[in-house]
Amino acid sequence: MVSYMGVLLYGVGGIVVAGVALLVAFQEKLVYVPVLPGLSKSYPITPARLRLDYEDVWLTSSDGIRLHAWFIKLLPDCRGPTILFFQENAGNIAHRLEMVRIMLQRLQCNVFMLSYRGYGASDGFPSQHGIIMDAQAALDHLHQRTDIDGSRIVVFGRSLGGAVGAVLTKNNPDKVAALILENTFTSILDMAGVLLPFLKWLIGGSSSKGPRVLNRFVRSPWSTIDIVGEVRQPILFLSGLQDEMVPPIHMQLLFAKAATRNKNCSFIEFPTGMHMDTWLAGGDHYWRTVQRFLEQYVPEKKEMAPTTVGKCCSGENIFASCCQWLDFQYFCNILCACIVLGICQKCDPVLPYHHCTNVIILQKILDS
């Protein structure tokens, strides 16, 4: 007769074997879902459908995989910060276009949307190692562009995209200005315990109390909790408290880990926000939160007025030395021209205009 203990051991052994089989055979399909059920891999719409000005961008990752992306700009001259957006694990970048359309309008920014390998029009098959290379290729491309301000690149990642963004930001302290994380998990190991509760004792992150014997079989651990504490750039955490996929405690743990070493961290909760719609549920409060973060850490560069405005090269105030000799309108024209051009005047006590080193340029302005 088989003892009760024997049955228990057989049962536990069966669970372990089944768990290992599931992880080894199907883990990529659980973590990466480039095609939603009932839909095709291709993009259902493009930015043109929403009347957005965009470019199709083709990149090559460091291992030779061909990648596709959209660079969407609000204005032709690409003023404003540039947001490098990393999506969740399911679907493709086209499914995020409505959110991005509002992002452009509210934040006055450019948005670069990358299709991970195996997603959308990109080649290859998704993996953690591969997607990290894909993200780096996207960032390198942005820094090669001459039509954007490379010092105002902000990484924005939701869910899986937050894990991707955290790694990229940590690895590029001089290329990424700030990081925004929304509804991101602490690690895939912890999420495995959430999605597969019967494996919770056998798999998990550092906080797990079990033996974690299955951890070694996970090929895409995406341990954001171990990365976020090493990020030195400012971080904004956006947490939807009704998240049905990633328990909100994950975002709280990420913030706590980051804030111990990084003083420029902010944590904002949205009471009705779910996993995919926090931006929608948060409404105006959501966008104002992000806007304030950008204004604080990637402010618009304002052109500084020249220090010589209103003074001659000797430092003398030209109002005192010139107004008595010049017609007021004539004097204002000269002064305004110098302000616009940043011209340092070389003047005498009577007519500073006569000895200006840029007299020809000034004359053209005054004659116009």
Tell me: the pLDDT tens digits for 337-367?
443 334 333 343 333 333 333 444 344 444 4
Q: Is residue 268 included in any domain, yes or no?
A: yes
Mean pLDDT on 171-182: 99
The model's pTM is 0.77
Statement: residue 22 has pLDDT above 90: no
Residues 35-94 have pLDDT tens digits of 999 999 999 999 999 999 999 999 999 999 999 999 999 888 888 999 999 999 999 999
Q: From CA 60, how far away is CA 37, in angstroms rounded?
A: 28
Residues 114-154 have pLDDT tens digits of 999 999 999 999 999 999 999 999 999 999 999 999 999 99
Q: Is residue 335 included in any domain, yes or no?
A: yes
Check whether residue 206 and residue 288 sit in a common domain.
no
pLDDT-based confidence at residue 2 (cuts at 50, 70, 90): low
pLDDT-based confidence at residue 20 (cuts at 50, 70, 90): low
Q: Is residue 40 included in any domain, yes or no?
A: no
Q: What is the pLDDT of residue 11?
A: 60
Check whether residue 53 and residue 201 sit in a common domain.
no
Candidates 156, 161, 160, 212; CA nearest to 180 is: 156
Residues 238-255 have pLDDT tens digits of 999 999 999 999 999 999
Q: Is residue 338 included in any domain, yes or no?
A: yes
Q: What is the pLDDT of residue 203?
A: 74
Residues 281-302 have pLDDT tens digits of 999 999 999 999 999 999 988 7
Mean pLDDT on 182-200: 86
Q: What is the pLDDT of residue 122?
A: 99
User: What is the domain range of residue 195?
Assistant: 188-221
Residues 307-330 have pLDDT tens digits of 444 444 444 444 343 333 334 443
Check whether residue 174 and residue 201 sit in a common domain.
no
Q: What is the pLDDT of residue 274?
A: 98
Q: Which of 58-72, 99-113, 187-201 has the lowest mean pLDDT?
A: 187-201
Check whether residue 53 and residue 145 sit in a common domain.
yes
Check whether residue 89 and residue 109 sit in a common domain.
yes
Mean pLDDT on 160-187: 99
Q: What is the pLDDT of residue 47?
A: 98
Q: Is residue 6 included in any domain, yes or no?
A: no
Q: From CA 45, how far away is CA 43, in angstroms rounded?
A: 5
What is the phi/psi pair of residue 302, to 5°?
A: -95, 140
Q: What is the pLDDT of residue 113?
A: 99
Contact 298, 177 (CB under 8 A): yes
Q: Is residue 97 included in any domain, yes or no?
A: yes
Check whether residue 351 and residue 269 sit in a common domain.
no
- SS3 of 189, please? helix
Check whether residue 111 and residue 151 sit in a common domain.
yes
Highest mean pLDDT among 3-7, 110-114, 196-200: 110-114
Q: Which of 86-90, 187-191, 332-336 has the lowest mean pLDDT?
A: 332-336
DSSP state of 240: E
Check whether residue 127 and residue 67 sit in a common domain.
yes
Kindly report the CATH number assigned to the domain that includes residue 122: 3.40.50.1820
Greater confidence (19 vs 127) lies with 127
Q: Is residue 30 included in any domain, yes or no?
A: no
The catalytic residues are: 159, 243, 275
Check whether residue 150 and residue 252 sit in a common domain.
yes
- Residue 185's contacts (CB-CB under 8 Å, 6 or more residues apart) are 159, 162, 163, 191, 222, 224, 246, 250
Check whether residue 246 and residue 125 sit in a common domain.
yes
Check whether residue 214 and residue 292 sit in a common domain.
no
Check whether residue 268 and residue 345 sit in a common domain.
no
pLDDT-based confidence at residue 13 (cuts at 50, 70, 90): low
Task: Look at the chain and report how many structural domains it folds into.
Answer: 3
Q: What is the pLDDT of residue 15?
A: 64
- SS3 of 85, please? strand
Q: Where is the domain boundary, 202, 221, 240?
A: 221
Q: Is residue 133 included in any domain, yes or no?
A: yes
